[in-house]
Amino acid sequence: AQSVAQPEDQVNVAEGNPLTVKCTYSVSGNPYLFWYVQYPNRGLQFLLKYITGDNLVKGSYGFEAEFNKSQTSFHLKKPSALVSDSALYFCAVRDNNQAGTALIFGKGTTLSVSS
């Protein structure tokens, strides 16, 4: 079964500092990985995805993610955090054993950026 793990329930960073939100995956075959962000009482917003190609993926709002096959990781990064980045972040994977199965989400990581 495909799965993703987010080892940190919460990440705290100061505004202006770089941030990293961690995600590791377990899939059979090629991984198709996604990051979403959720602000309070809102739906999920798509940030970026890795399908194939360059290991560094750039996405919305200045976020990027680094795919590392040997470490089975797909960590979300941003060079300089903003207070407005405070939200709940989900890593997700598509189930590629059954094409078209919906996204499988990690448990989520709450990012708190202090001013």
Partner 1 sequence: DTEVTQTPKHLVMGMTNKKSLKCEQHMGHRAMYWYKQKAKKPPELMFVYSYEKLSINESVPSRFSPECPNSSLLNLHLHALQPEDSALYLCASSQDRGIDTEAFFGQGTRLTVV
The least CB distance from residue 41 to partner 1, in Å, is: 7
- Stretch 66-105: interaction string toward partner 1, x if CB under 8 A: ----------------------x-x---x-x--xxxxx-x
Concatenating the DSSP letter of every residue in the chain gives --EEE---SEEEEETTS-EEE--EEE-SSS--EEEEEE-TTS-EEEEEEE-SS-SEEE-GGG-EEEEETTTTEEEEEESS--GGG-EEEEEEEE-TTSTTPPEEE---EEEEEE-
43 or 115: CB nearest partner 1: 43
The least CB distance from residue 18 to partner 1, in Å, is: 25
1 touches partner 1 by CB under 8 A: no
Name which position in 45, 60, 112, 114 contacts partner 1 (CB under 8 A).
Answer: 45
61 touches partner 1 by CB under 8 A: no
Whole-number Å distance between alpha carbons of 9 and 110:
6
Residues that bind partner 1 (CB under 8 A): 32, 34, 36, 41-46, 49, 51, 88, 90, 94, 96, 99-103, 105-108, 110
